[in-house]
Amino acid sequence: MEEENECPECPPVPECPPPGAPAWMATFSDLVTLLLTFFVLLYAMSKTDESKFLSVAGSIRKAFAGNAMKIGETIQLGKSPDDSPTMIESQDPVEPFPIDLLTTEGILDKREINRESDEDLEQMQKVIKSYDLQDSVNVYQMKEGVKIRLKDRITFAAGTTKMNNASVIPVFQKVINLMQDNDWTIFVEGYAGKGETLKGNKDVDAYQLSSMRAAEVTTALMRRGVRPEKITTLFYGDSRAVEGDTNQKVEFVLRKRDLRTEGKRARSQ
């Protein structure tokens, strides 16, 4: 018998496809991933703080460039014709602050210091230690810089501007020596007790009395060689009187920069 011929009208049986996803699926997956990355970048850039972005860029540039930059050259804002950061000569290169933590809310530095500030915690701690003041101060690090508050304060007799604790004189003299040798600013803060008035003149209220105490200490600093422009005098009256504390006092805060130093001007709106 002759073999039956296949029906010429029937389509050929298709071959089995190769195992796994089709080739176009890989290309499509790459496209979706790139789109997702693009939108994530758009979202991240929409919440970027300009000062932090510049600091991060400086940190990355410093990490990858190594010693490519010559000493004294500082990267400044602006672009050159080839779209590269411009370079100008400077004696003080910009040192971006370190980046410690990256979160979904953006870049967060747990030890962040204002990029415009020249206050450096480690350097200021060394200065404090060189004057044997490390056990006499509390050091606070904030976004706007470093604040050093003396533990000792000058106290006054009730209702007077007469200093009555000679025990702080050694610490007081160390602070004077520090101020004479360094370009720091000292803040003299005057206080008064609740409802306290000047003895013999009740018309001089707590605010005036605290200002007189602060002025007394300020004058003593200037007489001992501290430059007047490096002293900032403040007084709070009895507005910050603390229950159980000696509020008839003057306290000291040290900063490397005066708070009156103008920063980057911003628009009013």
Q: pLDDT tens, position by position, for the chain (269 residues)?
A: 555 555 666 666 666 666 777 778 888 888 889 888 888 887 777 765 666 666 666 666 666 554 444 444 444 444 444 555 444 444 444 444 444 444 444 444 444 444 445 567 888 899 999 999 999 999 988 877 788 898 888 889 889 988 876 656 788 888 999 999 998 999 999 999 999 999 889 899 999 999 999 999 999 899 989 999 999 999 999 998 888 788 899 999 998 877 666 666 777 76
- Say yes or no: 135 and 229 in one domain: yes
The reply to whether 35 falls in a domain is no
Q: Is 192 exposed, middle or buried (0-12, 13-18, 19+ CB in 10 A)?
A: buried
The reply to whether 6 falls in a domain is no
- Say yes or no: 194 and 172 in one domain: yes
Q: Is 243 exposed, middle or buried (0-12, 13-18, 19+ CB in 10 A)?
A: exposed
- Say yes or no: 141 and 218 in one domain: yes
The reply to whether 232 falls in a domain is yes
pLDDT digits (tens, 9 = 90+) for 136-177: 999 988 877 788 898 888 889 889 988 876 656 788 888 999
The reply to whether 13 falls in a domain is no
The reply to whether 138 falls in a domain is yes
Q: What's the pLDDT score for residue 130?
A: 92
Q: What's the pLDDT score for residue 77?
A: 46
The total of other beta-carbon atoms located within 10 Å of residue 121's CB is 14
- Say yes or no: 96 and 161 in one domain: no
Q: What's the pLDDT score for residue 242?
A: 83
Domain of residue 85 covers 44-108
- Say yes or no: 228 and 251 in one domain: yes
- Say yes or no: 159 and 213 in one domain: yes
- Say yes or no: 137 and 65 in one domain: no
- Say yes or no: 206 and 152 in one domain: yes
Q: What residue type is assigned to position 172 of the chain?
A: F
The reply to whether 5 falls in a domain is no
The reply to whether 16 falls in a domain is no
Q: Domain count of the chain?
A: 2
Q: Can you say whether the dihedral through the CA atoms of 25, 26, 27, 28 is positive or negative? A: positive
| Whole-structure pTM value | 0.54
- Say yes or no: 236 and 210 in one domain: yes
Q: What's the pLDDT score for residue 17?
A: 65
Question: Are 190 and 214 within 8 A, CB to CB?
Answer: yes
Which of residues 58, 77, 108 is at a domain's end? 108
Q: What's the pLDDT score for residue 212?
A: 94
Name the residue among 264, 236, 261, 262 with its Cα closest to residue 250.
236
Q: What's the pLDDT score for residue 114?
A: 43
Give residue 96's region: left, alpha or beta (phi > 0; psi -120 to 50): beta
- Say yes or no: 154 and 182 in one domain: yes
Q: What's the pLDDT score for residue 112?
A: 42
Q: What's the pLDDT score for residue 188?
A: 93
C-alpha distances in Å from residue 174, one per residue of 136, 150, 187, 226, 244: 10, 11, 15, 12, 29
Question: Are 188 and 214 within 8 A, CB to CB?
Answer: yes
**Angle subtended at Cα 101 by Cα 98 and Cα 103, rounded to the nearest 5 degrees:** 140
The reply to whether 2 falls in a domain is no
